[in-house]
Copies of this chain bind each other. A is one copy, B any other.
Amino acid sequence: MNIEILSIGDELLTGFIVNGNAAWIGERLTRAGHRVRRVTVTGDRDEEIAGAFSEAVRRSQAVIATGGLGPTGDDRTRYAVAQILKCPLRFFPEYHDRIRKRFEERDMPLPESNRVQAEIPEQAEPIPNPVGTAPGIAFQLGKVPCFVLPGVSAEMRVMLTEWVLPRLQGSGPPEVFESRLLKTANISESGLQDRLHGFDSLFPGVRLAFLPRRAGVVLRLMVFAVSTENALRELDAAEEFLRKQAGGVIYGRDGEEIEDVVGRLLLAKGWRVAVAESCTGGLIAHRLTRVPGSSRYFERGIVAYSNAAKMQHLGVPEEMIREYGAVSPETARAMAEGIRNLSGADTGVSVTGIAGPEGGTPEKPVGLVYAGFADSTRVLVERHRFPGDRHLNQERSAVAALDLVRRALGGMQ
């Protein structure tokens, strides 16, 4: 089917927001075998929105629009659709009740301005919104089906997938497309490239891209094939080769984060972890506890910014800090052992370093970081020199510490 995407909102025209919704919809439609012929972005004025719909239905067999369904004065899409359909808005009490319920669940009174979100042009059909307040709007212009979804991505995605896509007549794709991400830590783009030499000639049907991200290089594999099975078989073979060649630096696949992998390894061993952080300031604990169910293995975290906290909570001896400094392999070791002993957890993790921008010296510059790991049999300490600004140094330190845990638990260290 030839489909046009219509994105509505002044914020898109003034560049305040990048049009990620259109890209997401375009990818989903393409994967489903449809052809996106055009994306049109228009502002928040009734006549512009109405005009864009009228033009789109002359070109395409279906129109998918997003934006302008909120409760505020600059949300104009429902009025523009009513204008095109030459009909009044109709109030749906059941949607108003649903909106009220969502507010009640949060112990908040329902603001008067939310009422309009339960209004839909009389000749249109509401599209259920399982994750937000405003229903979408489905209608026909001539013979062309049009769908209006909220601009809030999380709502748009669910509604497109569950309601709109099944209603589009598909003309099956001649090809399927599959892709896979492999994430690495603690290796540079060129270092990784050197290890993966020969990939292109071994896997001519798989496109390999190197994507340098903030905390590590991501490999993207892309395959077009005649069937999903074939595509997945090619991807599996390519992944196996890459994992072998890369020598343990690949920690995860697709949406998998390093904390997911560490969490799984801890669960498999039935171990609990406790964290002692200095320069990462709580980021390691935060990442570990982002994972649903992490209370089964995360015991506690101490953000020991001050030396007093390092001594009081972690048992780091005052003389050690005086002799070697708070940023030293000795302190990293004492912190990992200290948090483990204190908490009774099976493993202790520590980070101490200088995130910057202040606090560096010629001997201990900004970006110098020690990560520590302790279990019942050993203590490991690794030294890193990161080149970034404060936020980047914090992120990379957290990933480095979590990756040390991954390798230690996985028998790679």
Contact = CB atoms under 8 A, between A and B. Distances in A.
For A39, A284, A304, the residue with the greatest tally of chain B CB atoms inside 10 Å of its CB is A39
Given A41-B38, A72-B190, A387-B102, A30 B11 contact: no
B305 A300 contact: yes
Given A74-B210, A284-B282, A16 B11 contact: no
A359 to B, nearest CB: 7
A169 interface: no
A408 B350 CA distance: 33
Contacts of A300: 302-306, 308-309, 313
A281 B290 contact: yes
A46 interface: no
Contacts of A308: 300, 343-344
Interface in A145-167: 152
Contacts of A313: 300, 302, 313
In the complex this chain forms, how many copies of it are found? Answer: 2
A256 interface: no
Interface in A284-319: 284-286, 288-290, 292-295, 298-306, 308-309, 313
Interface in A202-255: 207-212, 220, 222
A281 B301 contact: yes
B27 A16 contact: yes
Given A11-B209, A18-B23, A303 B285 contact: yes
A395 to B, nearest CB: 10
A54 interface: no
B289 A303 contact: yes
Given A103-B188, A282-B303, A18 B19 contact: yes
A125 interface: no
Contact of A20 (B18, B102, B194): B18
A73 B200 contact: yes
A281 B286 contact: yes
B37 A48 contact: yes
For A71, A190, A302, the residue with the greatest tally of chain B CB atoms inside 10 Å of its CB is A190
A393 to B, nearest CB: 11
A359 B295 contact: yes
Given A19-B18, A301-B303, A303-B275, A220 B285 contact: no
A394 interface: yes
A358 B26 contact: no
A141 interface: no
A128 interface: no
Given A18-B20, A22-B41, A73-B200, A111 B303 contact: no
The binding surface of chain A is classed by DSSP as mixed
A238 B19 CA distance: 28
A24 B12 CA distance: 10
A262 B282 CA distance: 17
A69 B391 CA distance: 25
A189 interface: yes
Contacts of A55: 55
A10 interface: yes
A105 B368 CA distance: 10
Contacts of A107: 383, 385
Nearest to A287: B282
A362 to B, nearest CB: 13
Given A11-B211, A189-B70, A303-B301, A292 B356 contact: yes
A357 interface: yes
A285 B285 CA distance: 10
Contacts of A294: 281
A26 B7 CA distance: 15
A412 interface: no
Contacts of A356: 292
A283 interface: yes
Question: Closest 6 CB pairs between A and B?
Answer: A281-B289, A282-B285, A15-B27, A301-B303, A15-B26, A282-B282
